Homo-oligomer: A and B are copies of this chain.
Amino acid sequence: MNTFGQYLRLTTFGESHGPAMGGVLDGMPSRVFVDRDLMQRDLDRRSPGKGGTVSPRKEPDIPEILSGLSSDGYTLGTPVGFIIRNRDVRSGDYKDIENRFRPNHADYTYYAKYGVHDFRGGGRSSARETVSWVTAGAIVRQWLDGMGIEVSARFVETADIRQASCTGDSVGGAVECVVTGLPVGIGEPVFDKLHSRLAAAMMSINAAKAFEYGDGMESSKQFGSQCRDIPYVDEDGKVRFRSNHSGGIQGGISNGMPVNFKVYFKPTPTIPIEVESIDKDGNSVVIKPGGRHDVCVAVRAVPVVEAMTLLTIGDLILANSRFDSHSA
Contacts and interface: CB of A to CB of B under 8 A. Distances in A.
Interface of A: 1-4, 7, 9, 11-15, 18-24, 26-27, 29-31, 64, 66-68, 70-71, 74, 76-81, 83, 101, 103-110, 112-116, 118-119, 122-125, 129, 158-159, 164, 167, 169-174, 184-185, 187-193, 195-197, 199-204, 208-217, 219-225, 227-233, 237, 239, 245-246, 250-255, 264-271, 273, 275-278, 282, 284, 298, 318, 320-327
A274 to B, nearest CB: 10
Nearest to A77: B114
B219 A172 contact: yes
A322 B104 contact: no
21 contacts: A1-B191, A13-B24, A15-B68, A22-B24, A31-B115, A108-B239, A112-B185, A113-B184, A113-B185, A113-B253, A129-B190, A159-B222, A172-B219, A172-B222, A196-B199, A199-B199, A199-B200, A200-B203, A210-B216, A216-B264, A233-B278
Contacts of A210: 210-213, 216-217, 219-220
Nearest to A32: B326
B233 A81 contact: no
What DSSP secondary structure best describes chain A's contact surface? mixed
The listed residue with most B CB atoms (<10 A of its CB), out of A1, A107, A227, is A1
Contacts of A104: 227-229, 245-246, 250
A32 to B, nearest CB: 9
A224 B110 CA distance: 21
The listed residue with most B CB atoms (<10 A of its CB), out of A106, A110, A220, is A220
Nearest to A212: B210
This chain: how many copies in the complex? 4
Contacts of A103: 228-231
Contacts of A266: 215, 219-220, 222, 224, 227, 245
Contacts of A172: 219-222
B322 A228 contact: no
Contact of A326 (B118, B264, B321): B321
A128 to B, nearest CB: 12
A195 B205 CA distance: 11
A106 B2 contact: no
The listed residue with most B CB atoms (<10 A of its CB), out of A12, A209, A228, is A209
A95 to B, nearest CB: 16
Contact of A251 (B83, B106, B282): B106
A120 B319 CA distance: 25
Contact of A209 (B26, B71, B213, B237): B213
Contacts of A327: 29-31, 115
B3 A189 contact: no
